[in-house]
């Protein structure tokens, strides 16, 4: 005769096959089975060979209890959201570090033409009590600024809203992903007004791996924002990040002094060897060489910091244009801010240049303004900015600039 314990185990296996992956449920079944063996040790063989209503009722009562636990709204182990919440912690300060590739920007080797993404990293803290943010930004490993106030909206919502969405179970599992070989579940939580945020969470460690915002336009079409890679997020009872004072905000300008036609005269004007592309280059014609006074000022108050003489060398056709700005010292008027390029990070060593695009990717452009590309680098002792309407032409010009001889 088949033992009733075997029937119970078989039925539980049929109804809840996932139970084999839950160690606690295996232990429950073992305890039920062990209870039956204990009862048998206390009984006689004659007792076991005869059907006993009380023994059968006891076993089915155990089955009913197990079924109730399995189907009840509570569980013996936390669900995925609870596990992710436990991994994040419950401290007052949420400390997060995330990074992303800066759109339409890269560091390019002018000798080989190879490039790599320009990466920005944001290391920031959210105070759940005061609801204040503060943090540091880095580009290519160099600190560029500190801030007090909300970072990018997607990062702000990650620090302030993700833990809350886990705690109140408003976050929903909407899919799965493979992130560099790590299995992850995609959680989504609402930001209001049709906007939401998605976070990929490691299925084993419960660590967030990436985040992005998601919105829906007036026609119901979804759009997804840039993806930030999550390097770290935890909460702590004490503030984990000490912020230094922000450096002054620098800006500058360039004012024409005179126009020259001879590049040798231009070289004497700034008392430095100058770079150019000849009288014509790649279908473009040299139109103008202007000597300029380039300045750097500090805000607030627009206090003068430094100035120097520089050159603006202009090439054009009816549809294409190219400008070269060069000065012996770094000036904000030519987009050099001391040892950095502002939000684009530090000035790279030779033979590298930082390549970026102003207004690329924006859908609304005025008829008077169009996106343009820019390469910034050092060459022949000069701080050089090459601007133009074509990415390939800007790269080519940056590579083939030569000193006037």
Kindly state whether residue 346 falls inside one of the protein's structural domains: yes
Question: 274 burial class (0-12, 13-18, 19+ CB within 10 angstroms)?
Answer: buried
Single pTM value for the model? 0.73
Same domain, 208 and 332: no
Q: Looking at the DSSP assignment, which residues form a beta bridge with residue 127?
A: 93, 132
Give the model confidence (pLDDT) of 266-279 as tens digits.
Answer: 999 999 999 999 99
Say whether pLDDT at 306 is over 60.
yes
Mean per-residue pLDDT, 359-384? 81
Q: What is the pLDDT of residue 77?
A: 52
Does residue 241 belong to any structural domain of this protein? no
Query: Domain limits at 267?
Result: 249-403
**231 plus 258 within the same structural domain:** no
The most distant pair of C-alpha atoms in the chain lies apart, rounded to whole Å, by 119
68 and 209 in a single domain? The answer is no
- Asked whether residue 279 is assigned to any structural domain, the reply reads yes
pLDDT of res. 33: 43
**What is the rounded average pLDDT for all residues in the chain?**
83
Q: Assess whether 210 and 264 both reside in one domain.
A: no
Q: How far apart are CA 49 and CA 263, in angstroms?
A: 113
Phi/psi for 263 (5° steps) reads: -60, -25
Domain stop point among 26, 42, 76: 76
- Beta carbons within 8 Å of 7's beta carbon, 6+ residues apart: none
Q: Which two tokens stand for residue 225?
A: 């924002």
User: Which residues have a Cβ under 8 Å from the Cβ of 222 and sit 6 or more positions away?
Assistant: 214, 215, 216
Contacts by residues 39-48 (CB-CB < 8 Å, ≥ 24 positions apart): none
User: E strands along 217-351, which residues?
Assistant: 222-224, 228-236, 249-260, 275-276, 280-281, 284-299, 303-316, 321-327
Check if the beta carbon of residue 183 is closer than 8 Å to that of residue 206: no
User: Is there a single domain that holds both residue 94 and residue 206?
Assistant: yes
Residue 402 pLDDT level (bands cut at 50, 70, 90): very high
Residue 242 falls within a domain, yes or no?
no
Cβ-based neighbours of 75, under 8 Å, separated by 6 or more: none
**Distance of alpha carbon 124 from alpha carbon 149, whole angstroms:** 10
Q: Are strands 195-202 and 93-109 parallel, antiparallel or unpaired?
A: unpaired
Q: Give the SS3 label for residue 21.
A: helix
What is the number of domains present in the chain? 3
């Amino acid at each position: 005769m088949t033992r009733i314990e075997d029937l119970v185990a078989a039925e539980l296996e049929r109804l809840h096959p996932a139970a084999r992956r839950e160690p606690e449920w295996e232990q429950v079944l073992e305890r039920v089975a062990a209870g039956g063996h204990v009862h048998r040790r206390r009984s006689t063989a004659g007792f076991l060979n005869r059907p006993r209503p009380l023994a059968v009722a006891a076993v089915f009562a155990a089955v009913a209890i197990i079924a109730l636990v399995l189907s009840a709204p509570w569980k013996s182990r936390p669900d995925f959201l609870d596990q992710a919440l436990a991994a994040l912690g419950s401290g007052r300060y949420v400390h997060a570090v995330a990074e992303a590739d800066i759109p339409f920007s890269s560091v390019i080797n002018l000798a080989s033409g190879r490039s790599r993404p320009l990466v920005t990293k944001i290391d920031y803290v959210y105070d759940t009590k005061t609801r204040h943010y503060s943090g540091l930004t880095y580009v290519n490993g160099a600190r560029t600024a500190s801030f007090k106030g909300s970072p990018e909206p997607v990062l702000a919502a990650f620090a302030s809203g993700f833990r809350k969405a886990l705690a109140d179970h408003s976050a929903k599992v909407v899919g799965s992903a493979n992130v560099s070989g790590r299995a992850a579940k995609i959680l989504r939580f609402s930001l209001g007004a049709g906007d939401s945020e998605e976070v990929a969470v490691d299925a084993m460690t419960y660590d967030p791996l990436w985040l992005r915002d998601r919105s829906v336009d007036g026609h119901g079409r979804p759009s997804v924002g840039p993806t930030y890679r999550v390097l770290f997020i935890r909460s702590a009872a004490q503030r984990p990040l000490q912020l230094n004072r922000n450096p002054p905000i620098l800006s500058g300008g360039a004012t024409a002094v005179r126009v020259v036609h001879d590049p040798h005269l231009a070289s004497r004007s700034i008392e430095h060897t100058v770079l150019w592309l000849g009288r014509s280059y790649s279908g473009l014609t040299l139109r103008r060489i202007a000597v300029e006074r380039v300045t750097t000022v500090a805000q607030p108050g627009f206090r003068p910091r430094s100035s120097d003489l520089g050159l603006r060398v202009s090439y054009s056709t009816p549809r294409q244009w190219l400008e070269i700005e060069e000065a012996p010292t770094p000036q904000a008027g030519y987009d050099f801010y001391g040892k950095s390029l502002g939000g684009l990070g530090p000035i790279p060593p030779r033979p590298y240049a930082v390549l970026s695009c102003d207004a690329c990717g924006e859908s609304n452009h005025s008829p008077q303004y169009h996106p343009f590309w820019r390469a910034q680098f050092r060459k022949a002792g000069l701080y050089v900015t090459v601007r133009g309407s074509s990415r390939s032409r800007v790269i080519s010009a940056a590579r083939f600039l030569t000193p006037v001889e």
